[in-house]
Structures are given as structure tokens and as C-alpha cells.
A and B are shown apart, each in its own frame.
Chain A
Amino acid sequence: MSRTQFRLLQVQTMAFVGLAYFLPSTVSAQPGAPVAFAWQESIKGDKEPEILLRWPIAIATASDLEFGVLDAWKARFLVFKDEGTRGWKPKQPVELPAPPSGLAFDGDRYLVTLRGTGALVAIERPELEIRRISLPPDVSPGAIAAKPEVGYLLFDSAGNRLIRFSPDDQNLLQVPIDGYVTAVAFDASGGFLAAIATPPEIRRFGTNGEMTNSWPVPSIAAAPAWPVGLDADAGGDLIIADRHTGQILILDAGGKLVGIGARQGWDAGLLLRPADISRFPDGRIAVADQGNGRVQIFSQLRQDAGP
């Protein structure tokens, strides 16, 4: 059996198992939900030599075969690569000069915001060298998102604003924003989105920074949602990680809930205080499962919505 055939069989099997496992608690709770999730794998790292995740706080996918993750344990950045039958393997960690906050990938490099120092650094591939990017004075950068050829966007918690940069690090736009921004993302049209923790909502902004819409983030549990990770796909669907309930939510472009996956727990496929979420180009979802000290990958199962 070739590697491709093996992987296809593996994915199909996991998809079936995932559907059987998750559907009773997801689709039945939201009749007609067209998206479900299938757990694929949990990634912890290697025991020999010991490179194990402990407190992953942010994640960014670079390709279908690579993602970066920030680990608040010892302030480090790690790249994981899919080595086929050997699975996901971590590269040598990059020690960061300060506790990290947010992570994004802009097509060429990883961008990391650092706490306390008000710094933004680029980690250039392939050698993973750190280069500091200058920011306007008094910026305290937090959540960050990037999009190839569009640039990057970060939340300045000191100035309560979103700042947008071009791919060559030029400051393009500043947008004042009320509330605690826990995650940002670009949408397919070049506009952007921000997740607010309390009250839990998503705000959409046009390319000029004007807010065009906002939606509450629903919760099917007693606890209100606490969105911490946000990503958007080409079709406009929003993927959100809910820290309070340990769930992955999908809202369509109009803010309607169209999918719920995972739930709170410790076992493989369950999430405990997820901290961030990122979408692979092929549609799979990587979650920084902070409470469980691992990254988990889920595939999306699009269902026929029917007549």
C-alpha cells in the first residue's frame, strides 16, 4: 500500500469514527448543521530527543505539511512538519526573547508578537532566524493574523486598536476597537475580523477598517462562549475555538451557526481550554489544545444540506 493510499484509508477511517463519535452531540444539537468534524490526530512532540509541547498558546499553519506553534512553557516557538509515515515531527525549538502572545504565517515567514517588550518578530524560514520588526511607539501587540500578499493585522492592547500592515511592514491602517480582542483573522475579500471575549462576539471590518457587521458567538452550554481562535475559509465560513466549552464552532458568512465539533475533555479528540485555531490550506483544522498540552487536528465533514 502506498503512503497516499495509507493516508487516505486512515483519513476515511477516522472520518467515519469521528462522525459516529461526534454526531450525536453535534448535529442533533443543531438540526441541519451542514458541517461536522472528525478528529484526525493528536500531536505532542517527541520524547527522544525530548521536545514536548506543554502550554501551546497560539498556532499558525504554513502548508498542509507544516505548522508553527508557540509554547508559553519556556517561551519557545516550534515548527512541526508532517514526515509521512513518521508523523508530525518537531524541529529544534526557537527560544524567544520574551513570553510570546500571538502567531501568524504570512506566506514566507512566521510573525510572533511578544509580551511586555512591545515587540513583533519575524521568524524567517528555512533557518528560523529571528528578525525584529519595528512597531509604532507604545504598541503592546497581542493577537495577530496574516494573509499572503495582503499583509498582517495585529491587536494593540495598549491603544485598544487594530493595526494593519503591508507585507513589507508598512503601517497601513489603524482602527480603534472597544473590548478585549482575543483573535483576529483576514477574510477572503481582504477585510478582517476580530473576536471579542466578553460579550462574546465576532466583528467584521471592511478593507478600509469600517465595521460592517457583528454577530454574537453562541454557546450550547451553560457557560457563555469565550472565543479565542479565529480563522476564515475562502467561502467565508468562520472557524472559532471556544475556550469555555472546548468546542470548535463554524459560523457561515452571515454569522449563522453551521457546525459544532469536539467538546471539553482530556482524551484524544477532546479539547481542554483551547487557545487558538488555524486552518490548513486543505481545510483541516489545527487547534492549540492548551489544557492538554498538545495540538489536535480535525477534518471538516461537509454534509449535504438537502433540499
Chain B
Amino acid sequence: MTSRPVFQITGLAVLGLLGLGPSALGQAKIALDQRELCLQCHDDLADQLAAPVKHAPVVEGDCSACHNPHAARHESLLLERPAILCASCHPDVTRALDRSSPHAPAAEGKCGACHTPHGGQNQGLLRQPGLEMCSECHQQVDAWTKRPVQHQPFARDQCSTCHDPHGAEYPGLLAKPSGTGCFGCHSKTDAFRNRHSGYPVERADCQQCHDPHASDSRQLLNSVIHPPFASNPCSSCHQGSGADSPFALRTTEAALCGECHSEQVAEARSAVFPHVAGGGSNCSACHNPHTGTDQSLLRQDLSSTCLTCHNPGGAKSGEEGSFLSHADGAVTCETCHRAHGGDRPLLLVADPIELCGECHSHQHAVAHPMGEEWLDPRNDQPIDCLSCHGIHRAPAPKYLHRDGERDLCVGCHKQKGSQP
């Protein structure tokens, strides 16, 4: 037995000397079992190769389908970057990534985040069975599994019933829009209509009221129900179910919401710097008037709600999440910004020097002179933290607009000695 590897290695060496590359090795179909050869050293892969679900090249013993046995530009001697390599046999993934809502790990080419490349226990070569796999990033899955009422596909680990894990046309990786997708299983019967007061809710977004994963209620309702929705008939806010536009409101949102939330509506309307154009009239852009997952009834968590409009470039830009990078998520949008409008530009809750100083007290004490007495020579505005820092994203370390060693400084101090 000991002589066999020696023979194989000698054979490879001879082929290598003849100038034959890995593709030539494949074409030659030399009388070597690549799989056994590789396992001589990579015996840690034995478990994966013996697993019940194997990657097709592994079944064929074709290690060189993915790896160059001699040298490669890519990690693990891969022939190409994972995204390109995997797509060469899985074009469906490439097509999925072209859709409007790609899954972040797939879009970033991190196939190995979910899949094991050689073999494993789970279908699709997933590293973990369905829900466990998803819960590694989507922490809310754990909470859903603890709820008493679970949507059947969720309870059965069938995430792909509703989601396309690589990319989809609809938010939330939904293969079909919320509503349309639901009626693949749920029928529009009279009983269904009656339960919704005769309103044609099949035209609406089911997730306005229902949690498609799990709930404490039998109807899979979201956990927080807006009191007017719980206690009043739909027609107290909407046109009647038989109207031409049954979901149209009886009056403006400002008037409806302002009946209880007059303070917020007034704040939005009177702010020196309103949120968006008017304030106080488009509450439902951020809030769900029916149900929610917390008392604010936001349509999504706070940062996701803000990013609905304030996302620079979206998932395909390479800047996804850059507006959330400050403090690595330790602060929320509302730490610095007033959601309904404020009396300062950028809806900041306070003067930038004061606001930043709340966390950066040391820098506040030793920083470049700032304040009303110190004018930025570029625009004659008082210098503040934002004069040098980009806060959300900036090209230089410490969120600086330019390299802090020199370029940033000479932006103002153009002539040595001309500035303090």
C-alpha cells in the first residue's frame, strides 16, 4: 500500500515535467483516483466525502473540477473565486442574483456561508438543516420557533416554499409578492372574505396584519395590534367594502392619525426641517396602521425602515449598509436624527459638536477648534465635527472626508501660516 502514493506522486511529477497542466491531467484521465490521492493529505475531508449528500464532482472523484492541484490565485487552490466557480455549473444562481432583491451572502460570493462544498447531511449541501441555517444570521427565527402558532411551511423547515434563497424579485427574498404568493396555498373562499369583513384583501399585503412565520394568535396576527384596528370596523377609516376603491381612506392620514397622535403630526408639520417634504401626512410610509412587532408599529425594524429610502445604491451597489456602519450598529438612526422632523439640518437632535461629544467625549476635548468662533475657510460656516467627518461613510479611516495625515488638513490650510 505504501508504494501506491509514491507511484502516483511520481506520475504527477512526470506529467508536470512534461508541461501538462491540470486540464491536461483531466483530459488524460490518468489511471489515478484523484479522490484517493487528495485524501492522502486532506484526510479531514473524509467525513464530508462519506456524507449522505455529496457534491456532484465529489461523487465523480473529480477534485480538479474545482481545484488546481498545483497552484492557484484563489484560496483553497480554487480555479476561480467561489461566486464565479459555483456559477459555472449553477447558472440558476446567477439568474437569481440578477433579480432585484439578492441574498447578501450570495451577492457577495460567499457561497460557503450556507453551503459545504464537498458533502454534508443536508439537502442542497446546506451547512445546517433549513431553519438552523437561516437562524445563524436571522436571529428572529429562534423567537419564531418558540411561538405557539406556526405557519406550516415554517414549522416544516420549508423556507423555500416562500423564499428564494439566492435572490428574488420581491423584498424579503419572496418568490412572489406578498398576497399573490399566499394564494398559492390559501383559497379565496366566501369564508375567507367574511373573515375580512368583505374587503378584497387578496389585493392587499397580507403581512400588514399577519406574521408569515409564527404568532401567539391562531390567525397568525402580528404581535402588536393598533387599538383602532382591533376595536373599530374597517369602515371607520376606509371606504366601504363595496366601494370602487374600498381601501381608500375616508379622510387624510394627517386627520386620521392626528385624532390620537396630534403631537406627532404637529411636530412633523411645524418642524423647521421636516422629514421629507411636508411631514404629518404620510405616516403610513413608515408606520403600519394595523399591526406591528413593537409599539411604534414601524413597518420594519427602525434601520430597515429608514433604509427603505435612505439606502445609498441598494444591495447591488457594494455600499449596502454603509449608512448603518457608524458604531457598528451600536447606535440607531434615532440616536442622532429626529424621525418626525427637527429644528436643525439633517434632522439632527442637537448641534453636531454637542451630539458627537455625547459619545466621543475625549475627542471633543482635544479636537481641532470648533464652534461659532471658528469659520471653515471653504464656506465661512462655523466648523463642527461634520466639517471633517462623514459620519455614515467616508473614504478615509475615522470617517474622515480625506486622508487625515495631510489631504484633509490642506483642504483648509492651503498656505502654510495663513491659517491658525
Residues of A within 8 A of B (CB): 42, 44, 52, 54-55, 57, 72, 75, 98-99, 101, 115-117, 138, 140, 142-143, 155-160, 180-182, 197-198, 222-224, 244, 266-268, 272-273, 290-294
Q: How far is the CA of A38 from the CA of B340 in the complex (A)?
A: 37
Contact between B266 and A224 (Cβ–Cβ < 8 Å)? no
Residue of A nearest to B379 (CB): A292
B23 at the interface (CB under 8 A from A): no
Shortest Cβ gap from A196 to chain B (Å)? 9
Contact between B345 and A180 (Cβ–Cβ < 8 Å)? no
Residue of A nearest to B318 (CB): A222
Q: How far is the CA of A290 from the CA of B345 in the complex (A)?
A: 8
B28 at the interface (CB under 8 A from A): no
Q: How far is the CA of A72 from the CA of B252 in the complex (A)?
A: 28
Contact between B269 and A224 (Cβ–Cβ < 8 Å)? no
Q: List 22 A-B contacts (CB under 8 A).
A: A55-B345, A99-B270, A99-B271, A99-B272, A99-B343, A116-B269, A116-B270, A138-B255, A142-B274, A156-B278, A157-B274, A158-B254, A159-B281, A160-B282, A180-B278, A223-B313, A244-B312, A266-B411, A268-B378, A273-B345, A292-B379, A294-B379
Given A57-B273, A138-B252, A158-B280, 18 more contacts at CB 8 Å?
A: A42-B379, A72-B273, A75-B272, A99-B270, A138-B255, A142-B274, A157-B269, A157-B280, A158-B255, A160-B282, A222-B312, A224-B313, A244-B312, A267-B378, A268-B378, A273-B345, A290-B345, A292-B379
Contact between B272 and A197 (Cβ–Cβ < 8 Å)? no
Contact between A160 and B381 (Cβ–Cβ < 8 Å)? no
Residues of B within 8 A of A142 (CB): 274, 277-278
B216 at the interface (CB under 8 A from A): no
Given known contacts A99-B272, A160-B282, A267-B378, A224 and B312 CB-to-CB distance under 8 angstroms: yes
B376 at the interface (CB under 8 A from A): yes
B113 at the interface (CB under 8 A from A): no
Given known contacts A115-B270, A292-B379, A180 and B277 CB-to-CB distance under 8 angstroms: yes
Residues of B within 8 A of A44 (CB): 380
Residues of A within 8 A of B411 (CB): 266-267
B3 at the interface (CB under 8 A from A): no
Shortest Cβ gap from B286 to chain A (Å)? 12
Shortest Cβ gap from A235 to chain B (Å)? 27
A-B contact count (CB 8 A): 110
Residues of B within 8 A of A98 (CB): 270
B279 at the interface (CB under 8 A from A): yes
Contact between B379 and A180 (Cβ–Cβ < 8 Å)? no
B319 at the interface (CB under 8 A from A): yes
Residue of B nearest to A157 (CB): B278
Residue of A nearest to B282 (CB): A180
Residues of A within 8 A of B254 (CB): 138, 140, 158-159
Contact between A140 and B269 (Cβ–Cβ < 8 Å)? yes
Residues of A within 8 A of B279 (CB): 140, 157
Residues of A within 8 A of B343 (CB): 99
Shortest Cβ gap from B387 to chain A (Å)? 8
Contact between A115 and B271 (Cβ–Cβ < 8 Å)? yes
Q: How far is the CA of A116 from the CA of B278 in the complex (A)?
A: 10
B27 at the interface (CB under 8 A from A): no
- Point out the residue from B276, B278, B317, B319 that lies within 8 Å of A140, measured CB to CB: B278
Residues of A within 8 A of B255 (CB): 138, 158
Residue of B nearest to A116 (CB): B270
Contact between B381 and A157 (Cβ–Cβ < 8 Å)? no
Q: List residues of B (261-291) whose CB comes within 8 Å of A's CBs.
A: 266, 269-274, 276-282, 285
Residue of A nearest to B378 (CB): A266
Residue-wise interface mask of B (369-381) relative to A, using a CB-CB cutoff of 8 A (1 in contact, 0 not): 0000000101111
Residue of B nearest to A294 (CB): B379
Residues of A within 8 A of B191 (CB): none
Contact between B380 and A115 (Cβ–Cβ < 8 Å)? no
B330 at the interface (CB under 8 A from A): no
Residues of B within 8 A of A273 (CB): 345-346
Residue-wise interface mask of B (299-325) relative to A, using a CB-CB cutoff of 8 A (1 in contact, 0 not): 000000000010111100111000000
Shortest Cβ gap from B362 to chain A (Å)? 26
Contact between B345 and A160 (Cβ–Cβ < 8 Å)? no
Residues of B within 8 A of A101 (CB): 274
Q: How far is the CA of A60 from the CA of B317 in the complex (A)?
A: 36
Residues of A within 8 A of B376 (CB): 266
Contact between B277 and A291 (Cβ–Cβ < 8 Å)? no
Shortest Cβ gap from A124 to chain B (Å)? 25
Residues of B within 8 A of A182 (CB): 276-277
- Point out the residue from A72, A138, A143 that lies within 8 Å of B277, measured CB to CB: A143
- Point out the residue from A54, A158, A292, A294 that lies within 8 Å of B281, measured CB to CB: A158
Q: How far is the CA of A302 from the CA of B128 in the complex (A)?
A: 62
Given known contacts A197-B309, A222-B313, A224-B312, A266 and B277 CB-to-CB distance under 8 angstroms: no
Q: How far is the CA of A117 from the CA of B270 in the complex (A)?
A: 7
Q: How far is the CA of A181 from the CA of B279 in the complex (A)?
A: 11
Contact between B278 and A293 (Cβ–Cβ < 8 Å)? no
Contact between B309 and A140 (Cβ–Cβ < 8 Å)? no
Contact between A292 and B312 (Cβ–Cβ < 8 Å)? no
Contact between A293 and B282 (Cβ–Cβ < 8 Å)? no
Residues of A within 8 A of B381 (CB): 54, 292-293
Residues of A within 8 A of B252 (CB): 138, 158-160
Contact between A157 and B281 (Cβ–Cβ < 8 Å)? yes
Residues of B within 8 A of A266 (CB): 376, 378-379, 387, 411
- Point out the residue from B276, B285, B312, B346 that lies within 8 Å of A223, measured CB to CB: B312
Shortest Cβ gap from B253 to chain A (Å)? 8
Q: How far is the CA of A250 from the CA of B278 in the complex (A)?
A: 25
Which residue, A101, A180, A197, A267, has most C-beta atoms of chain B within 10 A? Answer: A180
Residue of A nearest to B381 (CB): A293
